[in-house]
A and B are shown apart, each in its own frame.
Chain A
Amino acid sequence: MITIPFHKYGTPKYFYSWSLRLRPWLKYGCILLFTAGLVGGLWIAPTDYQQGESFRIIYVHVPAAWMSLFVYIVMALAGACGLIWHVKLGDIVARACAPLGAWFTFLALLTGSLWGKPMWGTYWVWDARLTSELILLFLYLGYIALQGAIDDRRTAARAGAILAIVGTVNIPIVHYSVEWWNTLHQGPTVSKLDAPSMDTTMLIPLLVMALAYNLYFVAVLFERVRCEILEFERNKNWVNELTQPKGIV
């Protein structure tokens, strides 16, 4: 069995060096994917019969919404690692995830609202998904506020991990209850944010954009984690050696 030395590669020092080596790949991969996705979404994909050109908002709305959920799960898992196994990198990753997740949620809400205006005639509906996204935004803001209010970083990380785990249990409950409440009060409406069966030429740019957003998240997350490592490990020798020119004493 192949044993991966997690405790070696999970330390801040090793993370810094191997993530730095990954950076050019992530950067150019992102540029490539975003270009491909935008070209596919704005040019190649045909105009929707029902919604006209406004459906193109899907290419920035849906990836942002998917990421907002995905980042929350990453945040909760990383926090759990830090809490249960005392993995320092877990704490740092969780803390770095939160603002990114909040921004993704904000973008999902904003673009969803802008899509809603031409479609439903109003900027906001208490539709199940938008309401759940709003609650998710509150979850992120609560997490960020809690970590900001506690002075000791280690305690803050662990308290945040509890909050994230409780939130993860809560998200499906909230989503289900809002959806249930929504269909009961508004009658069976087909969710207009769903493109029921999408043409392949419309679907592929969406998947490309989703991949682009994912790669972007990884790249920016690593950057933020590196910054935190530099800021709070600056008393360690290996950090000072980073800045020395190699081979010269």
Chain B
Amino acid sequence: MTWEEVIFYVIAAVTVLAGAGVVFSRSIIHAALFLILALLSVAGIFVLMAADFLAIVQVLVYGGAVTILILFSMMLTRVRDLPTAPDGPQKPFAFVAAVVFTVSSIAAIVSTEWRGESTENISVVPFEDIGTALFTSWAVPFEIASLVLMAALVGAIVLARGEEGE
């Protein structure tokens, strides 16, 4: 077992445990803190796949913005008054669905012959290449994504502010 694999298994274990913490923990605050851990360790997974740019974006956008938003919304919805969130009645069905999905797709993954598996060393995609691709062959989706962000921004402000004179 190489060092790379050891690092992978450690980070993967942290990711899975933190993910389990998000969905199984009784307290909403604990779930949010586990979510931060899970997102940051996914950034580590990105580094192992030589996707450095995405790891940086992940830490900036998820570790920073998304987590802050979620914590703020918890403050505003007063979770302190109801710190534990009981789960719904469909819990056993959810468990069965998740287990069935896991087993079937792991079986599918293991039984497939991936043709790229023999790649000896993957190289880091240069940041310049990603930028060039984004602004040339992916320019239209890029612009649409900025429109989506704009619409989401305006929509969030309108929704959260409420009607006049309320």
Q: Do A and B come from one complex?
A: no
Q: Which residues of A contact B (CB under 8 A)?
A: none
Q: Which residues of B contact A (CB under 8 A)?
A: none
